[in-house]
Structure 1
């Protein structure tokens, strides 16, 4: 995808734009507040901040869109801006700002380095500085409908007498950006569980780039016992009271959900427990690595297990 196409999608998302506008408005004191915009892109958030009265905005962006941001600023007669072409983690200039904002959210929330960017941004904040978003929570839920799994797992149906199992295994070790429908989750958000809760505020302890969480669902409490895969989505609290969510049960944004396929479906018996362990590693030298281990527990013992790793899908 070209850079301008990415930003066309971003700026075409009215929910996203309104949420960031309202969040900035809540933290900007006109004529006083200074803002750092990390991953500034076309400069949209800085333009909003200046229109809301920010004293000065510094834009950091490593892509060529920074030059476009300068053109757009001139065209709209927006001054009080500084431009730094670099990755924010490489910037050694001393800055002391009141607000740092980074809209580096992906379909999988952390795929654009949000966590590491937000933690690194703390060094640019003055006393009582704030960062947007302030908190990120990620959710997981079992997917009961076979619709998405059938769309991905085409390998057994290719035919012509070919055994494509090695290709199938690689394919099913990937995270897929998909539109997950409420109907795929049996129309209820009750099965969703939070598997990752990141407090990004400067006063909070810095979360690790390597995290793991196990979730469990009792078969008797599920609306269906046939599990095709898992859905992931996120909710970003920009400031208290203003939340952007990619939940299938919320109005859509330009972001979609993540579908985690299974190597084989899980059919639970009464009394079984579905156990999912998610392990996430987003260290800069790693990028994004997600593993998901699915176990079917009966009487506290695993009667079936499958482990998938996004690194095994990197072909």
Structure 2
């Protein structure tokens, strides 16, 4: 299965952010806004009298939070025409002496000084859709001080097998009439592309595993060109394997390095405007708790559309794949290894685990 998502070109990408409806959705996204507010305001000592760069400022909400936290200067950079509205909102909140709005791409922005902190809400659907992380990396390399901070600083994309009743079971009974023939044709529409849907936590067949993890202090553009991983996971409940669910979380720096704020789009967290991303399988597979399922997922940046990705999902035979250690599936080999590891003294775990392969 292969699917593509993204804007056709940079012009369409930036013009899409002139749509006030998009900003309304983001401003009404309580988990998103509360996470950024808590991350900034609870770390006032990191922002006080500091120089801040806000990439993709939009309506200016993050810039204003930085100003409220005591920032000395905030450079708010916005490529779309919403920049003029951001200037009005900055004035409305009385921060024109602190916040400077620049209407340009961050790649074209010029600044003589280095900044102490870069803030940005750059995340797209399944984390990388929209490709704004490239702009953050560009700004980091050009403008951030050597000991500067990035808000957020770490991001993780997760995957898990899931049930998708709205694509399958829903069609079993439409006011007492079976519509599975319609449902089968309807699913064809979504084969070959990611779909943004709300996935209930009860429909996850596994808690999820890391697909990719980035530290924004070190990630490079080329790291984003192709991301691929083979995964084997054990189902934690009986159900019907109908798709792959993707979600992400980002983590922010903190003063003590421990009490960091996290923004997560996992199904068991409050719903955000990102919802979750699902890849619908062409067939459904009944599974029991302890059954292993396997797949290979590849995100490939398109050369002619760098803000777009093709997503290739290949279903694998779990009996032919290497299983993680420990593995919670009921394959006899994995059960034996898990039992063996559970009996080891804690100090011996690391040494002995490395010597075992499934």
Q: TM-score, normalised by structure 1?
A: 0.80
Match of 1:287 in 2: 308
Counterpart of 1:99 in structure 2 is 117
Structure 1 or 2: larger strand share? 1
Choose 1 or 2 for highest CA Rg.
2
Query: Which residue of 2 is the match for residue 33 of structure 1?
Result: 50
Tell me if 1:60 matches 2:77: yes
1:69 is the counterpart of 2:81: no
| Ranges in structure 1 where 5+ consecutive residues have no aligned partner | 302-315
1:231 to 235, 241, 245: 245
**Which whole-Å CA distance do the structure 2 matches of 1:150 and 1:232 have between them?**
21
Question: Structure 1 residues 66, 261: closer, same or farther in 2, change over 3 A?
Answer: same
Structure 1 Cα separation of the partners of residues 90 and 31 of structure 2: 23
Q: Which moved more, 1:41-50 or 1:19-28?
A: 19-28
Q: Find the aligned partners of 2:63 and 2:202 in 1 and give their Cα distance.
A: 39
Q: Structure 1 61/270 Cα, relative in aligned 2: closer, same or farther at 3 Å?
A: closer
Q: From the superposition, tell whether residues 149 and 231 of structure 1 become closer, same or farther in structure 2 (CA, over 3 Å).
A: farther
Shift of 1:33: 0.5
Aligned to 1:305: none
Call closer, same or farther: CA 1:234–1:30 in 2, change over 3 Å. Answer: closer
User: C-alpha offsets along residues 89-137 of structure 1, whole Å, 9 cap, x if unaligned?
Assistant: 2334444111111102223211122431221121210231111110110
Which of the residues 202, 213, 231 maps onto 1:183? 202
1:247, 1:257 within 8 Å by CA — same for their partners in 2? yes
Query: 2:129–2:307: 8 Å Cα contact kept in structure 1?
Result: no
Equivalent in the alignment of 1:120: 138
Q: What is the RMSD computed on CA atoms of the aligned residues?
A: 3.0
CA distance in 1 between counterparts of 2:57 and 2:288 reads: 51
Q: What TM-score comes out, normalization by structure 2 length?
A: 0.72
SS of match in other structure, 2:157? strand
Return the offset for 1:259: 1.1
Does 1:263 find its partner at 2:282? Answer: yes
Match of 1:85 among 97, 103, 123: 103
The more displaced of 260-269 and 81-90 is: 260-269
Q: 8 Å contact 1:28–1:49 — kept in the other structure?
A: no
The 3 A distance-change label for structure 1 pair 30 and 93 is closer
- Deviation at residue 150 of structure 1 after TM alignment: 5.7
Which secondary structure does the structure 1 equivalent of 2:318 belong to?
strand
CA distance in 1, matches of 2:289, 2:102: 59
CA gap 1:48/1:179 in 2 versus in 1, 3 angstroms: same
Return 5+ residue gaps in structure 2 as ranges. Answer: 1-15, 172-178, 255-259, 323-358
Cα displacement (A) at 1:144: 2.9
Map Cα deviations across residues 148-193 of structure 1 (whole Å, 9 max, x no partner): 44679xx97349xxxx97x96563111111010012126xxx5311
Task: Check 1:111–1:45 CA distance in 2 against 1; reply closer, same or farther (3 A cut).
Answer: same
**Deviation of the 1:267 alpha carbon:** 4.0
After superposition, the Cα gap between the structure-2 partners of 1:10 and 1:168, relative to the gap in structure 1 and judged at 3 Å, is: closer
1:135 aligned to 2:154?
yes
Shift of 1:59: 0.9
